[in-house]
Amino acid sequence: MRCSRCRTTLYCSPDCQAADWAAHKSSCIPSTVRGMVIYCDVARERSRNHELFEPVDINASDPIRRGSGGERAPISELIGVPLVLYRHIREPSFEREKAGPPNAPLDNQAATYLMIGEDGWAPEAWQEQVGTVTVMRKDGKPLTKASIETIWKYHCHLINKFNIHPILAQQQMNPADFVRFCRSYKVEQVRDGREDFRDIDIPL
């Protein structure tokens, strides 16, 4: 028998599957997960609608699912919405610079912001020339444009706090403060007529 949800775990019988559910539940991710592509500057300019985010279905064979190169977003772990980001360009910027000059159009501010840590800084490899990335929730829950935008804007909010009061920024890296931000951001977007935010569920 194969788990009907993740399609990756095998069992010898229904009883065996039922007995293992408590242990398997936390790692049971659907066979296809709805993630998001976050375009770098140049790719966004070339995309059809010039949008920052584009939905993508991620199957079990995708590198981001296999753990080969995907990196956890540190703050997302603290706020209870664990994200994994995968750079389409594998070499970090400081390695690519050896072969030629920096290419600013490959910058991806949204991805850089999502990778900040508790000190308010992203790792060096995520600070410039990041390129286009794929992002998914580690728990397998689907991402929407509204939800990934909200998470990104929360990171922007934290960075602004770091510029004024770093300790306060660190204190706000928790699920309760994140939920408060989400509710406030949702109200603002619905007020501005953005219907995609009307049905967003909070907590995300």
- Concatenating the DSSP letter of every residue in 15-53 gives HHHHHHHHHHGGG---SEEEEEEE--HHHHHHSSS--SE
Of residues 111 and 42, more confidently modeled = 111
Distance between CA atoms of residues 196 and 53, nearest Å: 14
Contact present, 34 and 143 (Cβ < 8 Å): yes
Block residue for tokens 């290419």: 103
Mapping DSSP to helix (H, G, I), strand (E, B) and coil, where does residue 59 land? strand
Give one DSSP letter per residue of 97-164, joined into a string: GGGS---GGG--HHHHHHT--TTS---GGGTS----EEEEETT-PPP-HHHHHHHHHHHHHHHHHHHH
Prior bond of 74 cis (ω within 30°) = no
Alpha-carbon gap, residue 180 to 138, rounded angstroms: 22
The reported pLDDT for the residue numbered 46 is 83
**Mean pLDDT computed over 58-80:** 89
Instruction: Provide the mean pLDDT of the chain.
Output: 89
Q: Which is more confident, 52 or 11?
A: 52
**Residues 99-155: tens digit of each pLDDT:** 445 557 889 999 999 999 999 999 998 998 899 999 999 988 999 999 999 999 999
How far does Cα 189 stand from its chain's mean position? 20
- pLDDT, residue 91, reads 67
Q: Which contiguous run of DSSP H or E holds residue 175?
A: helix 175-191
Residues whose CB falls within 8 Å of the CB of residue 67, separated by 6 or more in sequence, listed in order: none
pLDDT of residue 98: 47
Q: Is the pLDDT of residue 69 over 80?
A: no
pLDDT confidence tier of residue 89, bands split at 50, 70 and 90: confident
C-alpha 117 chain-centroid distance: 14
Q: Work out the percent of the chain whose per-residue pLDDT is above 70.
A: 91
> In degrees rounded to 5, what are phi and psi of residue 39?
-75, 140
| pLDDT for residue 30 is more than 50 | yes
Amino acid at 67: G
3 Cβ contact partners less than 8 Å away, ≥ 6 residues apart = 9, 10, 11, 17, 24, 28
Which pLDDT does position 97 carry in this prediction?
53
What is the average per-residue pLDDT within 23-33?
79
